[in-house]
Amino acid sequence: MIEYRNLRIALLGAGNVGAQVASLLLEHGDELASRAGAGLELVGVAVRNVDAERTPTIPRHLLTTDAEQLILGADIVIELMGGLEPARTLILQAINSGADVITGNKALLATHGAELFDAAEQVGAQLYYEAAVGGAIPIIRPLRDSLAGDRVKRILAIVNGTTNFILDLMDREDASLESALATATELGYAEADPTADIEGYDAAQKVSILASLAFHTNIPLEAVYREGITKVTIEQVDAARKAGYVVKLLAICERLTDGETGIDGVSARVYPALIPVTHPLAAVHGANNAVFIEAEAAGNLMFYGAGAGGLQTASAVLGDLVSAARRHVIGGPGVAESTHANLPVLPIAHVTTRYQITLEVEDQPGVLAVIATLFSAHNVSVETLTQSAAGSGDAPATATLVIGTHEATEAALAATVTALETNQVVRSVVSVLRVEGL
Ligand code: NAP
């Protein structure tokens, strides 16, 4: 029988994820110890209410409301409370008392990540956060370790299961946004207050973490451009399907050269966009997540799976626990976050992409020429144009134009849309959607 060194594990939080982590650790402790090369002793679990019912159950003697006391003397602290405080203060206390820390808290990392990584580097501790993006999907370690020898060009990701579930239902069952959201709430995919998901805040937090790792640059949450899905209509989803696209809430980060200044930088953004039905991300259905990476040498890679769920996310947390325990056994300082590139974040106005614009226009001779001239006057080149459905009856005839553009800057596109809105032949600008993944 091998005698392992014993490591003391403190768990903060026993909700959806924490209770599963505690249960798996208690059940599979010996097996995990063999993999880690160290005994993993769960010394306590901090919660708000020690009498609350938990599934799976946790032995009563392990539960405490004194998180600060629990941290003292722990070798590894697992933070699964969520929220900014007291999670931030407790993690800093844990780091400063010599513990390694594991967290799944994307909100905290996106907001205070730089401070926490600095604190860990100062004392040679390590912060692990595989569960913070994509739930069960291994994506942090592949980006930080496996792709450390490559150059990432771009990441397109579906990192919010709630919005993917809603858009998928709109696409596959012709549901309106409101009814798809109601179904998501009923099935437990959306929270009672869905703002963080449907307005893109959750995805923005995750893309700030992915972009920081992929481009070796600290990308603060405030630098991420964000639009949610609340303006997506069933008409847009229908039109997209007919044109060979699907609408997804995409979290995007890429390395770009600013067309105006020539400066190399990073863009990080979240918005609903059209992607071709042939793109691998188009096949991500329901509440699943996927991260599609375009790297210089590796080419295209896709990581796919359950983006949330207590048990699924516990898998990522326990993977971090085994890594942290191995590091303790070997000794030496933790590996600091790599921010050596320190690239500037480019504003959305300087980002180039393609667009699909739907217009209602007067159905008269010469209208197409007016529209085409207007686009080219603003440096936006038209790639495709389809016209349909003239109006009838006494009302003056109208036609619907769907215009696909070549790559153009956001600034040029915004100026084009403003000009369209004030042009006499244009009845309305029905929708503007970006096109990604071509
Ligand atoms: P949760 O179900 O709300 O559980 C939070 C736990 O923390 C509860 O046990 C709660 O105690 C405890 N807690 C909260 N504030 C506390 C305080 N001040 N002092 C002591 N204990 C406190 O959260 P979750 O869904 O497990 O998520 C945990 C973390 O994992 C979050 O950062 C989340 O973003 C992240 N994450 C979650 C998922 C997922 O699928 N759920 C996926 C990826 C990442 P009581 O039980 O007594 O109230």
Pocket test for ligand 1, best of 81, 88, 191, 205 (most atoms within 8 A of CB): 81
| Cα–Cα nearest to 12, from 68, 56, 58, 51 | 68
* Range 140-307 has CATH code 3.30.360.10: yes
Note if 248 is an active site residue. no
Threshold 0.85, pTM exceeds: yes
pLDDT at 17 over 90: yes
Each residue of 310-328: b (16+ CB within 10 Å) or e? Answer: bbbbbbbbbbbbbbbbebb
For residue 200 and ligand 1, the question of a CB distance below 6 A is answered with no
Task: Enumerate the β-bridge partners of residue 270.
Answer: 226, 251
Per the CB < 8 A criterion, the answer to whether 213 and 258 are in contact is no
Express each pLDDT in 187-205 by its tens digit. 999 999 999 999 999 999 9
Instruction: Decide: 44 in ligand 1 pocket, CB within 6 A.
Output: no
pLDDT of residue 388: 81
> Going by CA atoms, what residue is nearest to atom 30 of ligand 1?
104
The Cα–Cα gap between 304 and 178 comes to: 27
What distance in angstroms lies between residue 108's CA and the mean position of ligand 1's atoms? Answer: 12
Whether 400 has a pLDDT exceeding 80, the answer reads: yes
Q: What is the residue extent of each domain of the chain?
A: 4-133+311-330, 140-307, 351-435
Q: What does the pLDDT read at residue 259? A: 76
Query: What integer best gives the mean pLDDT of the chain?
Result: 95
User: Dihedral, CA atoms, 85, 90, 92, 96, nearest 10 degrees?
Assistant: 170
List CB contacts of 312: < 8 A, sequence separation 6 or more. 135, 136, 305, 306
Q: Which of 206, 231, 242, 248 is catalytic?
A: 206
Tell me, which fold does domain 351-435 have in CATH?
Answer: Alpha-Beta Plaits (3.30.70)
Assigned CATH for 4-133+311-330 = 3.40.50.720
Instruction: Give distance in angstroms: CA of 283 to centre of ligand 1.
Output: 31
- Predicted pLDDT at 336: 86
Span 402-412, average pLDDT? 95
Residue 10 Cβ < 6 Å to ligand 1 = no
Does the structure show a pLDDT above 60 at 392? no
